[in-house]
Structure 1
């Protein structure tokens, strides 16, 4: 089937509306949209809609922000790029300034997202911690920022890379103290701790142990992430099967309801026909009784006439 011009844009607008509304109504709205597309013969749209997944509450809140206030997400992305440039250059003053700015931006974004969510669903319980974690992850990872920009997240995101998102880990070594004044870590894949010429052997050994611990933890987290993603994939498939079964069962119920309605209509008509035939039978019975009485009367008159004739 050839779709009319502008159909793709219309479908995108429909998808946006689905992701803007509270998650509780997502499945029902998606099913209604799929059924409408099928009735219109638009199989491509029905297939696109069927592939959509229900977002968590936290993902919905972030989607609202991305769809209704994209300017704020642009500000987040710009700050992310500036922060990465400062981290690569190890510019301490600029890092501190950007870190403070980042906290302010994330806090403002969470507040704006909360306002939008409560306007859409005043009684919603909002997991603002997950919302904040997702926005912080978008600051750290351009790929996550790109996902946030789409407005089609299905679950909250978190930063799974090296280091701690909310607080850059730049470690500066003091001449007189074994403790670190500030924390930071390199932005490259190796994740090596920055060392300065004045580090002692003991400090370098401690830094090396820390690097090995972090690398081991990184490997563990990656294994856990792989297992979690596999479990997520299985759960998504199970959800899709369950939703498909739910739709099929709903369609069956609708078909049975239609059949029941037709049978009820036919039953009502049959009852009316029985009543009409009963009335006709009673009328016929009355006619038979009248005819029999007439026959009896005529026979009696005939007998009286014959009995009165002379021999």
Structure 2
């Protein structure tokens, strides 16, 4: 059963991406206030999805049964490729186009219902769903509803056709197309069929070579993506730490400002007290002078 945190993460990835950062920050702050450091750390690791990834996430979260249909079709396509079943592959390829088109349409409707004014990169959505058909790993990522960027795949390639041949048995029974062959179970190949076989074999080799190249490119791109993600995580962590430092300094500055205001008020009170003391001192000195003068006058008039 999904936890409360899982439900929160699902809501984050269902909402339009423009509000993702603010919503994530608010959720992190709530977790920190609640003393839940593990949840705060988990939320801080979440990445903002692109618009295309968000559209695919909506489809996976709101219409998971459509994604399951996509996965079933993917399995059928791979089986047809392994079996070199050209007819089945052509039929499934046509079906693939129809399914992907229907899924893109459904995803677009969901996204527009959430954010009518947003510009939808449906080409990237289609590329991601097509990639999910080709790669089980991408399909698994799509199922989570937490994609952060669109995916691409070069295509399924050409599948070579089976070799065309005529096989006869010892009784001279015909096989295909009512063409006659030699006796004794011999395989008879026609020149044009040999040419077709060579062309198919060439296409197969080209496909395999291109597939290997693209797999290498994909591996390199994934490694670069991982490095970029790690760099982004470090940058985000540094940004959060810097933000927390600014918050702490702001709090210290506020405290210092309060103490400064109190000190200024105390200085004003002490200045007023000093001035009062100065006036009292001056009055006392005048009184001392007056008394001394009176005493001197009295002493000068003392009878002999």
DSSP-derived class of the 1:195 partner: coil
Q: Which residue of the other structure, out of 257, 260, 274, is the alignment partner of 1:281?
A: 274
Match of 2:164 in 1: 196
Distance 2:28 2:277 in 1: 59
Q: Superposed, which structure 2 residues align to 1:14-33 within 5 Å? A: 14-33=8-27
Q: Which residue of the other structure, out of 219, 233, 238, is the alignment partner of 2:212?
A: 219
Shift of 1:94: 10
Distance 1:80 1:32 in 2: 39
Structure 1 residue runs without a partner (length 5+): 1-5, 164-168, 170-184, 186-191
Match of 2:7 in 1: 13
Map Cα deviations across residues 40-77 of structure 1 (whole Å, 9 max, x no partner): 33343234334433322211111122223334434444
Q: Which residue of the other structure, out of 208, 211, 224, is the alignment partner of 1:231?
A: 224
Shift of 1:106: 2.8
Shift of 1:250: 1.1
Q: Does 1:208 align with 2:176?
A: no
Match of 2:186 in 1: none
Contact 2:164 2:193 in 1 (8 A): no
Distance 2:84 2:198 in 1: 25
Contact 1:83 1:95 in 2 (8 A): no
Distance 2:97 2:214 in 1: 26
CA change 1:193–1:267 in 2 (3 A) is farther
TM normalised by structure 1 equals: 0.75
* RMSD, aligned CA: 3.1
Greater displacement, 21-30 / 50-59: 21-30
Distance 1:142 1:218 in 2: 16
Match of 1:42 in 2: 36
Q: Which residue of the other structure, out of 101, 110, 126, is the alignment partner of 2:120?
A: 126
Shift of 1:271: 0.8
DSSP-derived class of the 1:226 partner: helix
Match of 2:283 in 1: 290
Shift of 1:276: 0.7
CA change 1:100–1:160 in 2 (3 A) is closer
Contact 2:57 2:142 in 1 (8 A): yes
Distance 1:253 1:16 in 2: 31
Distance 1:9 1:242 in 2: 29
Contact 1:193 1:211 in 2 (8 A): no
CA change 1:264–1:121 in 2 (3 A) is farther
Distance 2:115 2:31 in 1: 27
Shift of 1:256: 1.2
Q: Superposed, which structure 2 residues align to 1:264-275 within 5 Å? A: 264-275=257-268
Shift of 1:89: 9.4
Contact 1:86 1:95 in 2 (8 A): no
Q: Superposed, which structure 2 residues align to 1:1-311 within 5 Å? A: 9-78=3-72, 80=74, 90=85, 92=87, 96=91, 102-159=96-153, 162-163=156-157, 185=159, 192-197=160-165, 200-311=193-304
CA change 1:279–1:120 in 2 (3 A) is farther
TM normalised by structure 2 equals: 0.77
DSSP-derived class of the 1:210 partner: helix
Structure 2 residue runs without a partner (length 5+): 166-189
CA change 1:40–1:233 in 2 (3 A) is same
Distance 2:99 2:140 in 1: 18
